[in-house]
């Protein structure tokens, strides 16, 4: 007996999500017409060849700490950093591009779990821009620790860059920091005087507000 059926749509299925070392790869997709649990003939397949090269471009990576309806004096001093192996590192500076105070990290962009683990070891809590469906990042491109000085008072701070939905987003927190009692995505300085709130739909901006 011969049976013939029309083609059907196959929903996208993630088969791999991770980092591949530099090199050449071949990915196969096949259809075995004998549904017996064994890969055998007749078998129809196709393949694609992929060459993977690690991007080691150094970028200006700005994160902005934007005071909300007040004008404090801000400064930042770096203590340490972590970056994915093989990526360039050009240091950290501060500035006021577009009239907003920010921190510029000159570095490559390639995520790794080791940097995320380093970030977590230097913060008691954290929040992020764009997508904070988890309490901690699983991968980060790089992370920095240092002291953020607000109107003369210094606070230990940890900042990192990750990615979500094809965009580079940012994480912020620090040792001794806490979560805002009225908003789960806001983090509060150890003395409770200030808190940082991610700006909605923005990848690299946090509002800096006074005590709630």
pLDDT in tens, 176-204: 999 987 777 899 999 999 999 998 788 99
Q: Extract the tokens encoding 196.
A: 């940082």
- The answer to whether 76 touches 63, Cβ cutoff 8 Å, is no
Q: Which residues contact 106 (CB under 8 A, 6 or more apart)?
A: 58, 59, 60, 61, 89, 90, 91, 92, 93
Tokens read off for 194: 């200030």
At 2 the pLDDT is 47
Exposure string (b/e) for 18-46, b if CB count within 10 Å is 16 or more?
Answer: eeeeeeeeeeeeeeeeeeeeeeeeeeeee
Domain residue limits, the chain: 59-210
Model pTM score: 0.77
Q: How many CB atoms lie within 10 A of CB 49?
A: 8
**pLDDT number for residue 98:** 79
Spans of the chain, pLDDT less than 70: 1-7, 16-21, 212
pLDDT of residue 1: 44
Q: Which residues lie closer than 8 Å to 54 by C-beta, 6 or more apart?
A: 21, 22, 86, 110
């Amino acid at each position: 007996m011969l049976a013939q059926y029309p083609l059907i749509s196959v929903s996208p299925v993630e088969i791999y999500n991770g980092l591949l070392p530099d090199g050449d790869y071949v990915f196969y997709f096949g259809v075995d017409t004998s549904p017996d649990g064994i890969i055998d003939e007749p078998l129809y397949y196709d393949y694609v060849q992929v060459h993977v090269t690690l991007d080691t471009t150094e970028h200006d990576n700005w994160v902005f700490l934007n005071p909300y309806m007040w004008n404090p004096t801000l400064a930042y001093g770096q203590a340490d950093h972590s970056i994915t192996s093989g990526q360039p590192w050009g240091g950290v500076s501060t500035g006021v591009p577009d009239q907003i105070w920010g921190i510029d990290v000159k570095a490559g962009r390639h995520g790794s779990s080791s940097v995320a683990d380093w970030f977590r070891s230097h913060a008691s809590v954290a929040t992020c821009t764009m997508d904070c469906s988890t309490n901690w990042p699983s991968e980060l491109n790089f992370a920095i620790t240092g002291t953020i000085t607000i109107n003369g008072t210094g606070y230990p701070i940890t900042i990192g860059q990750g990615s979500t939905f094809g965009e580079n987003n940012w994480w912020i927190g620090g040792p001794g920091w806490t979560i805002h009692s009225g908003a789960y995505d806001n983090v509060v300085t150890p003395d409770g005087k200030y808190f940082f709130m991610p700006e909605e739909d923005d990848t690299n901006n946090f509002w800096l507000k006074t005590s709630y």
